[in-house]
Structure 1
Amino acid sequence: MILQLEEDCLNVYRKKVEQTRKQKADLLQVMSLGEAEIEKILSALGERESFSRVEKLGGTLMEQLTKLEPVLDDLRRRRDERINEFLAVQLHIVRLQAEISGTINHGDPAAPLVDETDLSTGRLAELKTQLNELQTEKNLRLQKIDAQIKCINEMCNMMSLDLKKTLYEVHPSFVELERIKSMSISDSTLDRLAGTVHALNQEKKQRLRKLQDLGSTLIELWSLMDTPLDEQKCFDHVTSLISVSPNRVMPQGCLAHDLIEKVEVEVKRLKHLKASKMKELVLKKMTQLEEIYRSVHMHIDSDHEWQILTELIDSGRADLSELLTDMDDRIAEARDLALSRKDILEKVEKWTSAIEEEGWLGEYEGDQNRYNAGRGAHINLKRAEKARVLVSKIPSI
């Protein structure tokens, strides 16, 4: 009986010892896992210090475990905060990279994975530096876009173009900012924007050059047609652009397509009036030429000349300005010819006059009643004296 009791007590003791040993082993395992996690977190955070249970905790296993748990909880909290900080920075980087590359247009980028083995402040500083560089690049692109949009706005105002339509064709984000999260800053968008600026600038120069040519033509036609100043003032906004540089900012709508068409219609109208007036001047010059030739007793085939001139004008093939210049040259030539024949013509006129007076004198002297007192007898007598003098000069003429 006593032996059985001793055996039972011994078994209880052994069981208790085994339980204590197992409990200690479990505690040691928990402590070991905790220490390992602490070392892992400290390594990930980049902190050089190591964790020693003997140095940092001390006391019994339970006391050490009690002290270990808050340390581990604090490190876990610091690790989670650092992970969230990394995640925020990396997410911002990925988004900026997507905006610059243009892939943001296909949807929000996937959340990046954080390398939990390297959560050091050095690595975080590198990511923040990369983020700052990307943010600077984005700001520079936004400034460039803003300057180009301002340039497009100015040119659209000058040419009366739809600004929203023009910007929408470059990228919808320039117009639909309320529905789109951010303005496109990709390389392809910047290239299209630069291309639009170049195309609009070329169109502006072309329209300005056309208006300047039309303005110069208007001034020439006004001078030729003696157009009243009141009519000219209606196109002051056109003639004021003749000496304007293409790089200068001009008034709103001054290069509008409708305005150019209006000026073209006015130039066409004035050219038609010019053609009518030039035709009238050419015909007037022809009459003047005929009179010059007639005055020097030179023959000119007037009917043939008039027929050729009328056919040229009516056909529309002749340049009336050149035709008018040609008529001026012919008139100048006819005047020179008339001047060279002046002496001969004057002698012919004197000879003709002397012959006429000789005939009259013959009739006068054959009149038996020439000396009878009567009305005009003394006049005829004086004429007879002058006629005899003139007739005596006929041989010399």
Structure 2
Amino acid sequence: MAITDAQNPLLGEATCGTLLQKLQEIWDEVGESDDDRDKMLIQIEQECLDVYKKKVEQAAKSRVQLLEALSDAKIELARLLSALGEKSFAGIPEKTSGTIKEQLAAIAPALEQLWEQKAERVKEFSDVLSQIQKICGEIAGNLNISDAPAVDEADLSLKKLDEYHAKLQELQKEKSGRLHKVLEFVSNVHDLCAVLGMDFFSTITDVHPSLIDSTDVQSKSISNDTLARLATTVLALKEDKKQRLHKLQELTNQLIDLWNLMDTPMEERKLFDHVTCNMLASVDEVAVPGALALDLIEQAEVEVERLDQLKASRMKEIAFRKQTELEEIYARAHVEIDPEAAREKIMSLIDSGNVEPTELLADMDNQISRAKEESLNRMKTDIMQAEVHI
């Protein structure tokens, strides 16, 4: 069974003096010599010195560590104040007197508050820098930025934070302006596609897939590349619109010429009102969906081709009708002509294609006018002669 210190007769409430006295009694009882006693006392004294020396070294080392900790705390305090842009802090004790531990204890609360303030400030910087990074990525066309922006913890001052907020506001303003341009371009593409009868969705998707989303405006691409491609698309569509309108107006003029040439009735002409309605319109005035669709232009081309093929036979019919009118005028005026030769000449001219039908008909109209005038003159002459005979 183990003996406790209280049960040990050699220890009890012992002190160095009582222990030494007890040791002397034991030596007397044992009969230790004076030399042995002196050696043992010297050994005991040396052991005591070693213990004290070790304790002093430990105390000195602890003091150095505490001084280093105090120095590091003051440096950290100064670094935090500098990083946060603060010249002073209310939580820092004015007096730095007292023991080392007291000084450390006095600085500790201020450090805790500044560390918390630093953590909050770092979060604020990270938030604003993330927004800046995101908008810069959108402008550059890089939407896959996953790394968090690096925060310079050496400068977390409010002045620096205000600078970043000002930069963010500029970028947000630029983003808003770019988004407005994008939406304006998309609207132009939509209107132009409608007039041209083109698929708006495929056209705008070819520029950038995000532009098709009408629910989330903020998700639309605002990059330089997207804006440039939108501008190019709008210019191409406007040029296409201009060329199609020019083509349609040319076809309209051809249709009207053919209709006039062949005396096409108004009922037939009205069937192509959707084609001829833009005959005198400018490019900007044409806004009706499908007004310049390719199938409409093809429809006009087919009709022009059909009428052009009928033109020769219709021209002969019209020319012969006018020739009949001319023959009747001459007959009433008792002027002899060769109708068969006249009709053969008309057929020859039309079949050869060497004369414009309009010119031929105009020439025949002139002949009819001269014949009417000549007939009228003959009638006047006959009347005057009849009066003379009376």
Shift of 1:122: 0.5
Aligned to 1:367: none
Shift of 1:346: 8.4
Which SS does the other structure have where 1:312 is aligned?
Answer: helix
2:363 corresponds to 1:326: yes
Alpha carbons of 1:160 and 1:31: their partners in 2 closer, same or farther (altered >3 Å)?
A: same
Gaps of 5+ in 2: 1-37
Aligned residues: 347
Aligned to 1:135: 172
Q: Deviations over 1:153-185 (max 9, x none)?
A: 12212222111111122223323799xx94321
Aligned to 1:315: 352
Alpha carbons of 1:271 and 1:4: their partners in 2 closer, same or farther (altered >3 Å)?
A: closer
Aligned to 1:189: 226
| Among 238, 241, 244, the residue aligned to 2:278 | 241
The separation in 2 between residues aligned to 1:333 and 1:9, in whole angstroms, is 156
Alpha carbons of 1:59 and 1:52: their partners in 2 closer, same or farther (altered >3 Å)?
A: farther
Q: What letter corresponds to residue 225 of structure 1 in structure 2? A: D
Aligned to 1:382: none
Aligned to 1:117: 154
Shift of 1:207: 2.9
Contact 2:196 2:290 survives alignment (8 Å): yes
Contact 2:252 2:275 survives alignment (8 Å): yes
Aligned to 2:88: 49
The separation in 2 between residues aligned to 1:327 and 1:199, in whole angstroms, is 48
Shift of 1:58: 4.9
Contact 2:329 2:372 survives alignment (8 Å): yes
Shift of 1:133: 0.6
CA RMSD of aligned residues (A): 3.7
Contact 2:248 2:275 survives alignment (8 Å): yes
The separation in 2 between residues aligned to 1:343 and 1:47, in whole angstroms, is 121
Shift of 1:199: 2.0
Alpha carbons of 1:225 and 1:54: their partners in 2 closer, same or farther (altered >3 Å)?
A: closer
Contact 1:174 1:183 survives alignment (8 Å): yes
Gaps of 5+ in 1: 351-392
Contact 1:285 1:328 survives alignment (8 Å): yes
The separation in 1 between residues aligned to 2:271 and 2:323, in whole angstroms, is 36
Q: Deviations over 1:70-92 (max 9, x none)?
A: 43233223223322322222232
The separation in 2 between residues aligned to 1:190 and 1:177, in whole angstroms, is 17
Contact 1:221 1:271 survives alignment (8 Å): yes
The separation in 1 between residues aligned to 2:45 and 2:111, in whole angstroms, is 46
Q: Deviations over 1:81-108 (max 9, x none)?
A: 3223222222321221222123x06x42
The separation in 1 between residues aligned to 2:161 and 2:384, in whole angstroms, is 119
% identical equivalent positions:
42
| Among 134, 145, 148, the residue aligned to 2:182 | 145
Which SS does the other structure have where 2:205 is aligned?
Answer: helix
2:201 corresponds to 1:164: yes
Contact 1:174 1:184 survives alignment (8 Å): yes
Alpha carbons of 1:323 and 1:60: their partners in 2 closer, same or farther (altered >3 Å)?
A: same
Aligned to 1:356: none
Which SS does the other structure have where 2:284 is aligned?
Answer: coil
The separation in 2 between residues aligned to 1:166 and 1:248, in whole angstroms, is 23
Shift of 1:338: 5.1
The separation in 1 between residues aligned to 2:384 and 2:180, in whole angstroms, is 92
Shift of 1:51: 9.8
Contact 1:204 1:255 survives alignment (8 Å): yes
Which SS does the other structure have where 1:55 is aligned?
Answer: coil
Alignment of 1:235-274 (within 5 A): 235-248=272-285, 250-273=287-310
Q: What letter corresponds to residue 97 of structure 1 in structure 2? A: C
Alpha carbons of 1:245 and 1:343: their partners in 2 closer, same or farther (altered >3 Å)?
A: closer
Aligned to 2:21: none
The separation in 2 between residues aligned to 1:189 and 1:225, in whole angstroms, is 53
Contact 1:35 1:51 survives alignment (8 Å): no
Contact 2:349 2:355 survives alignment (8 Å): yes
Alpha carbons of 1:300 and 1:227: their partners in 2 closer, same or farther (altered >3 Å)?
A: closer
Which SS does the other structure have where 1:247 is aligned?
Answer: helix
Alpha carbons of 1:215 and 1:251: their partners in 2 closer, same or farther (altered >3 Å)?
A: same
Q: Deviations over 1:306-363 (max 9, x none)?
A: 3332111123342212101111223333444555566887899x9xxxxxxxxxxxxx
The separation in 1 between residues aligned to 2:114 and 2:75, in whole angstroms, is 12
Alpha carbons of 1:125 and 1:206: their partners in 2 closer, same or farther (altered >3 Å)?
A: same
Shift of 1:211: 3.7
Q: TM-score if structure 1 supplies the norm length?
A: 0.73
The separation in 2 between residues aligned to 1:289 and 1:142, in whole angstroms, is 72
